[in-house]
């Protein structure tokens, strides 16, 4: 994509919510901040707003750059912008950093107003349900009563779904990509390994490390490396890295030799220097807890009864962390309720990461879907 | 909808006649979604499509059809019993592997079923076989080496199949060049259209 289609230089803003929120865990926050960005213009009827929900390590910076010299644009810049699949000439797009996030929204790094100290370990665990509640506050504060669409991949897809369960009358279209209605045991298992690697890092100090010189980077690094393995498919790892080594010969020591090792180390280091360990373990918990079926006591088809929005569900063939079968479960539940749903199973090699990639067919689907949405002029 | 702007196939109007107004229709192998849009336009149906091919799937989506990408060979597992008024399988049955399974699945999901297929017993097909070749025609446009068709049948074959499987034939129409054929249809008919229900 050319730079021409970029939303350009953007600036994050802060929504200061003074309404308290009763969290799923039972705790209460009297007020909180949410950092967000918007692209495009809200029309007079205020019916062209699209909320982008982020995944595990995402944030409000969906598209554009903060300054020209930024190395990378926002995390979904290939999808969001003028004349891009989610066209900011037509839609008013909102990116948000979820409560408990890493980019300035109230979270573990913030000061607890009651104690005047950094929250750290005491910051409560926030759930998908909580996020959607707070997202709605932000959306309403912008004067929007009903979202034209809510879109998200992976954990973001769960939020998009949850919007329909909490506020079925306030969303017209829902796009759920590479997601699942709840996590499988295997998926929770990966999250637990990630959490344990962070929690057992000697520098983690039970989550109260902010005033220390050493941050729990080792744990975060390993958690991210593990994550990256599961976001890719065996095939794409094979074709990208194979058994390629950096040196001509084996060194017979434990330095980084295979290219896959160096990729994982690079990704791990990069992430560990940017991300907050407390946020990471809480995000994985939000993933684990989300379950509209309430431990299978309810069928999805029952849970989905209240849904009114149209749905587009997308999965990727090589995604084994959020496999197509999990998307099909959602589609089945939607069909059982006569919800207008389209489902695409995209042939892609990249695994779970495919939802962030710029694949022509994938983007054409999103583009077409948004093109068919009618909004006021 | 103001005007119907997709290509209309001549068998659409027959399926239209067999479709109740305001009903819920599932089109298996819906292609670009033209039949469903035609039925929406004429009969105000609520339509869903199933399409395996990614390009056709995208065409359906672009044409405002709610379309599920899946392989019919694995059945209609995602669909509840009796959840549609009508399930249509148009000119596809001959290319399917599990013909018996899909027909039973259609009868499970739909209260009524429409199946259309090219009649292999059509005299032009028979003539080409007599001349020593695999038939190639308007209804069967493929050469033997590139045909997707694996289960071609005649009208007699299909009638027997329905009888054996206790499927009731509610309507049957045989066409050649857009005209109805009543005289020796298994010999003079090119395209067969059936409306079926479970007995």
Where do the structural domains in chain B lie, given as residue ranges?
Answer: 12-123+151-198
A31 has pLDDT over 80: yes
Structure tokens at A31: 């007020």
Mean pLDDT across chain A: 96
For A326-338, write each residue's pLDDT tens digit: 999 999 999 999 9
A257 touching B, CB under 8 A? no
Residues 113 through 152 of chain B touching chain A, CB cutoff 8 Å = none
For A146-163, write each residue's pLDDT tens digit: 999 999 999 999 999 999
C-alpha angle A82-A83-A86 in degrees, rounded to nearest 5: 80
Residue A2: the pLDDT is 46
In B19-108, DSSP assigns E strands to 24-28, 46-50, 66-68, 84-90
Residue B2: the pLDDT is 55
Per CB-CB distance under 8 Å, the chain B contacts of A347 are 54
Structure tokens at A363: 């983007």
Of the candidates A332, A338, A365, the beta carbon closest to that of B61 is on A365
Residues 11 through 50 of chain B touching chain A, CB cutoff 8 Å = 24, 46, 48
Average pLDDT over residues B151-169: 97
| Residue A154 falls in the annotated catalytic set | yes
Q: What ipTM was assigned to the predicted interfaces of this complex? A: 0.93
Average pLDDT over residues B50-71: 97
Q: Are A352 and A231 in contact (CB under 8 A)?
A: yes
Q: CA nearest A326 in B: which residue? A: B78
Structure tokens at B177: 């060049």
In chain B, DSSP assigns E strands to 24-28, 46-50, 66-68, 84-90, 110-118, 167-176, 179-180, 191-198
Q: Which of A154, A318, A323, A327 is catalytic?
A: A154
Interchain contact, A338 vs B61, CB within 8 Å: no
pLDDT band at B6 (very low <50, low <70, confident <90, very high): confident
Nearest one of B123, B142, B144 to B133, comparing CA atoms: B144
Q: Please tell me the distance from the alpha carbon of residue A237 to that of residue B197, in angstroms, as a whole number.
A: 50
Residues 278 through 307 of chain A touching chain B, CB cutoff 8 Å = 301
Per CB-CB distance under 8 Å, the chain A contacts of B62 are 368, 371-372
Per CB-CB distance under 8 Å, the chain A contacts of B68 are 331, 335, 341-343
B74 touching A, CB under 8 A? no
A278 has pLDDT over 70: yes
A165, A320, B187 from B69: Cα distances, Å:
25, 18, 37
User: Which secondary structure element, helix H or strand E, spans residue A76, and what is its range?
Assistant: none
Per CB-CB distance under 8 Å, the chain A contacts of B110 are none
Interchain contact, B54 vs A361, CB within 8 Å: yes
B68 to chain A, closest Cα gap in Å = 5
Q: Please tell me the distance from the alpha carbon of residue A113 to that of residue A116, in angstroms, as a whole number.
A: 5
Domains defined for chain A, CATH in brackets: 3-182+291-371 (3.40.50.1820), 189-285 (1.10.1740.110)
Q: Please tell me the distance from the alpha carbon of residue A358 to that of residue A86, in angstroms, as a whole number.
A: 13
Residues with Cβ within 8 Å of B66's Cβ and at least 6 positions away in sequence, in order, are: A310, A340, A341, A342, B47, B48, B49
Q: Please tell me the distance from the alpha carbon of residue B26 to that of residue B83, in angstroms, as a whole number.
A: 9
Q: What is the pTM of this model?
A: 0.95
B12-123+151-198, CATH topology level: Rossmann fold (3.40.50)
Q: Please tell me the distance from the alpha carbon of residue B167 to that of residue A257, in angstroms, as a whole number.
A: 66
Residues with Cβ within 8 Å of B49's Cβ and at least 6 positions away in sequence, in order, are: B26, B27, B30, B33, B36, B60, B65, B66, B67, B68
Q: CA nearest A301 in B: which residue? A: B80
Residue A1: the pLDDT is 44
For B93-150, write each residue's pLDDT tens digit: 999 999 999 999 999 999 999 999 999 999 999 999 999 999 999 889 999 999 999 9
Q: Hey, how many other C-beta atoms are within 10 angstroms of the C-beta on A74? A: 26
**3-state SS of chain B: helix, strand, coil percent to 5?**
30, 25, 40
Residue A294: the pLDDT is 86
The three-state secondary structure class of A330 is helix
Per CB-CB distance under 8 Å, the chain B contacts of A336 are 80, 83
Interchain contact, B67 vs A342, CB within 8 Å: yes
pLDDT band at B175 (very low <50, low <70, confident <90, very high): very high
Percent of all residues in chain A with a pLDDT value above 90, rounded to a whole number: 96
Interchain contact, A331 vs B68, CB within 8 Å: yes
Average pLDDT over residues B22-50: 97
């Amino acid at each position: 994509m050319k730079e021409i289609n970029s939303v350009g230089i953007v600036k994050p803003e802060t929504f200061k919510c003074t309404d308290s929120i009763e969290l799923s865990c039972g705790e209460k926050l009297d007020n909180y901040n949410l950092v967000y960005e918007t692209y495009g213009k809200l029309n007079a009827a205020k019916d062209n707003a699209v909320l982008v929900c982020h995944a595990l390590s995402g944030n409000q910076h969906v598209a554009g750059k903060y300054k020209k010299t930024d190395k990378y644009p926002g995390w979904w810049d290939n999808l969001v912008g003028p004349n891009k699949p989610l066209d900011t000439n037509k839609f008013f797009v909102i990116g948000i950093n979820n409560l408990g996030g890493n980019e300035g929204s109230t979270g573990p790094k913030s000061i607890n107003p009651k104690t005047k100290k950094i929250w750290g370990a005491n910051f409560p665990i926030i759930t998908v349900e909580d996020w959607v509640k707070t997202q709605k506050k932000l959306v309403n504060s912008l004067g929007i009563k009903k979202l034209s669409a809510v879109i998200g991949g992976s954990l973001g897809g769960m939020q998009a779904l949850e919007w329909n369960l909490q506020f079925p009358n306030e969303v017209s279209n829902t796009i759920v990509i590479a997601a699942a209605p709840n996590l499988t045991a295997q998926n929770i298992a990966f999250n637990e390994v990630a959490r344990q690697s962070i929690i057992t890092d000697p520098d983690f100090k039970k989550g109260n490390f902010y005033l220390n010189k050493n941050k729990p980077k080792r744990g975060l690094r390993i958690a991210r490396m593990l994550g990256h393995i599961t976001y890719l498919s065996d095939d794409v790892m094979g074709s990208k890295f194979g058994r390629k080594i950096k040196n001509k010969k084996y060194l017979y020591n434990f330095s980084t030799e295979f290219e896959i090792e160096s990729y994982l180390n690079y990704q791990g280091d990069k992430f560990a220097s940017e991300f907050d360990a407390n946020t990471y373990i809480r995000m994985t918990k939000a993933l684990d807890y989300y379950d509209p079926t309430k431990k299978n006591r309810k069928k999805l088809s029952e849970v989905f009864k209240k849904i009114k929005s149209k749905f587009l569900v997308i999965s990727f063939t090589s995604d084994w962390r959020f496999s197509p079968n999990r998307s099909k479960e959602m589609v089945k539940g939607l069909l059982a309720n006569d919800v207008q749903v389209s489902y695409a199973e995209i042939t892609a090699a990249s695994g779970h990461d495919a939802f962030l990639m710029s694949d022509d067919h994938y983007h054409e689907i999103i583009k077409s879907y948004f093109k068919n949405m009618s909004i006021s002029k | 909808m103001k005007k119907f702007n997709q290509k209309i196939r001549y068998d659409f109007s027959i399926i239209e006649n067999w479709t109740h107004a305001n009903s819920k229709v599932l089109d298996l192998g819906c292609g670009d979604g033209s039949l469903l849009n035609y039925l929406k336009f004429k009969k105000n149906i609520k339509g869903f499509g199933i399409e395996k091919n990614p390009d056709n799937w995208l065409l359906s989506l672009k044409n405002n059809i709610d379309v599920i990408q899946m392989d019919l060979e694995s059945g209609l597992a995602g669909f509840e019993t009796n959840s549609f008024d009508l399930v249509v399988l148009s000119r596809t049955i001959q290319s399917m592997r599990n013909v018996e399974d899909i027909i039973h699945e259609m009868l499970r999901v739909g209260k009524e079923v429409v199946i259309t297929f090219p009649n292999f017993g059509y005299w032009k097909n028979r003539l080409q076989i007599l001349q020593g070749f695999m038939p190639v025609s308007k209804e069967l446009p493929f050469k033997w080496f590139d045909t997707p068709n694996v289960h071609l049948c005649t009208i007699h074959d299909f009638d027997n199949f329905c009888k054996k499987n206790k499927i009731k034939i509610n309507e049957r129409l045989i066409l050649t060049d857009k005209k109805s054929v009543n005289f020796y249809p298994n010999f003079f008919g090119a395209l067969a259209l059936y409306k079926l229900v479970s007995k």
